[in-house]
Amino acid sequence: MRRGCRATPPGADLIAAEIVAASTSSNLANRLESILGSGRVRAPSFTEARAADTIVEPASVDEICELVRMCEADRIALAPIGAARSIAGIRRSPVALGISMSRLARIVAHEPHDMTVVAESGITVGALNNAMAPARQRLPVDPCNPAMTTLGSLICAAHAGPLRLSEGTSRDLLIGVRFVGHGGKLVRGGGRVVKNVAGYDLMKLMGGSFGTLGIVIEATFKVRPIPPEYCLAIVPFALAADAFAAAYILNDALPLSNLEILSPALATRINFTGPFPFLLLAGFSGSPLEIGYQAERVRDLLIAQGEILDGGAALEKYELLRDIDFHSYPLSAQIAVPPAHLAGVLQSCGAEFRAHAGSGVAQIFSADEQSAEGATRIVARWREAAHSARGNLRLLAAAPAIRDSLEFFDTPNDGALKLMRRLKTAFDPAGIFNPACFVGGI
C-alpha cells in the first residue's frame, strides 16, 4: 500500500498540483490526472487525512471504473468517502486514495406517486430531503447531521437515528443499488420498484460494509410521507431504570416515532436543565386527532412531571437529539442488544449514553482522555456487557493515541467469519477496497 503525507492542515486550500506533488508519487499523480483531468486530484482535509493520503473527485461512473482498474493493477488501496468521518473513524492508517463522491450527487428520479427516489451516492441526506420536501416526502433515516451525511455513508456505515423505531433503517428502505466492483465493473442489484425479489439482495451486502466490497454509485430508496405534525414529550427521571420502565410502557402503548433516553451529560447537551438527570424523549406524529390522542395517553402514562413540545420547538429539540455527534468524543461506541436488556447492559457499561430504547440500540461514550490501557479496559467492559445480553458492539470513534490498541468491530463467530472472508475475496480479489479495517481484519 502506498503511503504519503497524513497530516494536511485543516482547511488547506492549496493548488492541487502542489498537493499532489507532496502527497503522492509523481507517477501516480500523473496517472490520476490522465484519468480525471487536472484540478480533481487534491490533498485531504484534516478529517479526510485520517482516511486517505490523496483525494480524487471523479465526476462520472466511467472515471470511477477506470480508477478501480488502475488501483487493482497497481495494488493501490482506496476507499469511497463522503465527509470521510465514517472511514476515518475506523481506519488505523489512511488508504492511498480516497474516492470523493462529491461530484456524483444528483437526484436521478423522484417519483412522489411511487414513493421512490433514485439518487447518486454523493448527495447528502439533508439535500435529498430538502429536494423532496415540496412533495411532502422524505427519506426517513436520520443520521447525525444529515447535511453532512452522504447516501454512500448512510448505507455503507449503517448510520441511523431516532426515527429507526418507526421507520427502520437504510437496510429497510434501500431497494436498489449500483456499485463499482472488482474489475471496474458496474454492478446493479435490486431495482426501482418497492417490491422486488429478482436476483440476490446485493443491497444488503453493501449495507454496513464500509466500502470494503465496492463503491456505491447510486441508490434507490423507498420514501415516506412527512407526517402532518410532530410532538416530543420530554420527561426527566432521577433513575435510569425508571426512565427505561416508562419507555417500555410507552412503546407498548403507542406507535411512537422515536423513543430515546439520555444520560445526564447528554441531557445537558440538548440544553435541558431540569430537576432530574435522566431524560426520556418520546416523539409521536400524525394528524391533529392522532396527536391529541397520543399526547393525552403520554400524560396519563407518565403523570405530570414532563412537558410536551409541539411545532418548531419539538423539531428543534428533536434535531438536537439527532445531531449528538458521537464521533467527537475520545472514545465512543454503538451497542445493540435485545431491547428489554438495554437498561441493564447500559448500567453495566457505566458510560454516558443515548439509548434508542425501543430498538435496543445505544451510543455510549467516555468523555475523558484515556491511556491505551484504560481505553482497552473500558472497551472490554462495554463488550462484555453487550455480549452477556446476546448483543454486539462496534466502536464509533477513538482518539489517535488509543486507537491502535482497540478492536473497532466484534469478531463474528468462526463460521460467519469464514463466509465473510470468502465474500471479501470474491468481491475484492485484489484487496484494494478499504482493506484491513473491517471485522476480522477484512
Q: Based on CB atoms, which residue is closest to other proteins, 53 or 66?
A: 66
Which residues ranging from 220 to 259 are in contact with other proteins (CB under 8 A)?
Answer: 224-226, 252, 254-255
Element at 334 (helix H, strand E): strand 331-336
Among 18, 130, 200, 305, binds other proteins (CB under 8 A): 200
Site for other proteins in 46-85 (CB under 8 A): none
Closest approach of other proteins to the CB of residue 255, in Å: 7
Q: Which of residues 362-421 bind other proteins (CB under 8 A)?
A: 390-392, 394, 409-413, 415-420
Binding to other proteins in span 306-365, by CB under 8 A:
334, 336-341, 359-361
Give the residue, chosen from 9, 310, 422, 441, that forms a contact with other proteins under the rule CB under 8 A: 422
Cβ proximity to other proteins: between 3 and 185 the closer is: 185
Q: b or e along 230-263 (b: 16 or more beta carbons within 10 Å of the residue's beta carbon)?
A: bbbbbbbbeebeebbebbbebbeebebbbbbbbb
Nearer to other proteins, 5 or 107 (CB): 107
Q: Which of 293, 315, 325, 372 binds other proteins (CB under 8 A)?
A: 293
3-state secondary structure of 32: helix
Judged by CB, which is closer to other proteins: 5, or 186? Answer: 186
Instruction: Identify which of residues 27 and 413 has a Cβ nearer to other proteins in the complex.
Output: 413
209 binds other proteins (CB under 8 A): yes
What is the grid cell recorded at 233? 414529550
Nearer to other proteins, 53 or 438 (CB): 438
Among 92, 185, 299, 377, binds other proteins (CB under 8 A): 185
**How many CB atoms lie under 10 A from the CB of residue 335?**
25
Side-chain half-sphere CA neighbours of 39 within 13 A: 2
Which residues have C-beta within 8 Å of that of residue 303, sequence separation ≥ 6?
A: none
Of 127, 194, 320, 430, the one binding other proteins (CB under 8 A) is: 194
Nearer CB in complex with other proteins: 29/336: 336
Minimum distance from CB of 78 to other proteins (Å)?
A: 19
Extract the C-alpha cell encoding 118. Answer: 433514485
Say how many Å lie between the first and final Cα of the chain, rounded: 15
Decide: 230 and 126 in contact? Cβ < 8 Å: no
Binding residues among 146-175 for other proteins as defined by CB under 8 A: 158, 164, 168-169, 171-172
Q: 37 or 183, CB closer to other proteins? A: 183
HSE, CB side, 13 Å, CA atoms: give it for residue 4: 26
Cell digits of residue 114? 411511487
Q: Quick one: which segment of 46-54, 80-88, 191-199, 298-306 binds other proteins (CB under 8 A)?
A: 191-199
CB nearer other proteins, residue 44 or residue 358: 358
Cα dist from 22 to 16, 34, 79, whole Å: 10, 18, 20
Pick from 89, 94, 140, 181 the residue near other proteins by CB under 8 A: 181
Residue 238 · residue 132 · CB < 8 Å: no
Query: Nearest Cα to 355, choosing from 259, 224, 250, 424?
Result: 259
Contact between 158 and 141 under an 8 Å Cβ cutoff? The reply is: no
Q: How far is the CB of 6 from other proteins (least distance, A)?
A: 27
Taking alpha carbons only, the member of 52, 55, 43 closest to residue 86 is: 52
- Which of 25/287 has CB closer to other proteins? 287
Which residue among 208, 283, 306, 435 contacts other proteins (CB under 8 A)?
Answer: 208
Question: Residue from 47, 93, 102, 196 that binds other proteins (CB under 8 A)?
Answer: 196
Provide the greatest CA pair distance for the chain: 70
CA–CA separation, 154 and 171 (whole Å):
10
Residues 308/291, Cβ–Cβ less than 8 Å? no
- Ranges within 30-49 binding other proteins (CB under 8 A): none
Residue in 9, 199, 350, 441 binding other proteins, rule: CB under 8 A: 199
CA distance 97 to 55: 6
